[in-house]
Amino acid sequence: MYQRKNYANSPLIFHIDVNSAFLSWTAVDLLNKNPKRIDLRTIPSAIGGDINSRHGIISARSIPAKKYGIQSGESVVNALKKCPSLVVVPTNFELYKHYSKLFIDILRSYTPYVQQVSIDEAYCDFTDLYDMYKDLVKDNLTYPLSLAHEIKDTIYSKLGFTVNVGISTNKLLAKMASDFTKPNRVHTLFEEEISQKMWPLPINELHGCGKSTSLKLTSLGIKTIGDAAHTDLEVLCSILGEKHGNYIYYSSNGINTSAVSSSKRIAKSYSSERTMPSNLTIDNYDSDIQNIIQHLSQNISRRMIKDNAYASTIGITLKTNHFKTHSTQTSLLISTNDSNVIYSTAIDLVNKELLGESGLFMKGDTIRLVGIFATNLDNGDYRQLSLFDLF
């Protein structure tokens, strides 16, 4: 697997796409209500329409359903002819909005620069954030793959569905990468990989190349993305017009200048948490906890500074090996967004919660998740001055 080397100073964009979103979210919801039922994702199933009235259109289907040739957009009637045992579940947009929000909330816990482009996909900008996530690097998984796998696995462990993550230096290539082999995969498509990974693909697989455009190009012998990349720009413009010709030429060469546009939202609180690769115990506590709390504090601080937000309450959340959640918080005399203040406050709370006389370690518990939250926000206009601020 390709490992990018110049991660610290290069633009870094992720495209994250939920695998079979409507079906996955429905399956997760049904399993949450009844863990003993069959997972829709493991049987021929589909979303859309009504199996009793046999009306409606298929909007999503499982991988087993795809083996019967069932396609999104075809009628329920035709789908049932192909697979009479097909399980069809009606659409539920309120459910989809619920899981979409949870999905986006997790992405925003990693970076404030998130652009949601549909209910089940988003771009994330991680440019210049290497220092926040360098501790995720492993011997067999270097940055940014380590971060992508962390996000992908966190979404699955917390929400129960899988995503694909595409990584590159711009949105176009990240989107192309996320569309490679599915499900539950991480792919890169950096500039030096374009000739190997993108150019051999059919021209209709170029993101933004519509059906009529691809048919026109194919009829003229431009069959692959690589063919388009090596066709003179003026020739493409004469075939497609200036606007479309320019798009096909530059996109097929991996050139895209569109920035991740994250809409500003008013936060009620900021939080960041980390699931341990192995449970935190009293034996490995001292060596691990400081790095974890520092990382989480920096994550929260960076997002608060960007939003010009200050918190007067800092809290911590701990989840034990028994899946019980323990939270505690404290109020500050002066609201803050300083990572050092957040860190020192959080580490004191964690020490008391774990190492106190009735602490969790004293009870024999181990810790599988550590989180920090900052709340009771203001914009800094009414912050109380300390004596030292006057000098």
Annotated binding-site residue? 39: no
Burial 154-193 (b: 16+ CB within 10 A, else e): bbeeebbbbbbbbbbbbbbbbbbbbbbeeeebbbbbbeeb
d(CA 103, CA 110): 12
The single residue listed with the structure tokens 């699955």 is 156
Residue of 74, 94, 121, 192 marked active site: 121
Annotated binding-site residue? 131: no
For residue 84, whether the previous peptide bond is cis, meaning omega lies within 30 degrees of 0, is: no
Residues 6+ apart with CB under 8 A from 264: 307
Name the DSSP class of 367. Answer: E
Name the DSSP class of 357. Answer: T
Residue 121 is a catalytic residue: yes
d(CA 89, CA 132): 42
Strand partners, 373: 271, 315
Spatial CA neighbour of 109 closest among 367, 373, 379: 373
Q: Is 271 helix (H, G, I), strand (E, B) or coil?
A: strand
d(CA 106, CA 151): 8
Q: Which residues make up each annotated binding site?
A: 17, 120
Binding residues for Mg(2+): 17, 120
Q: Give the active site residues.
A: 121
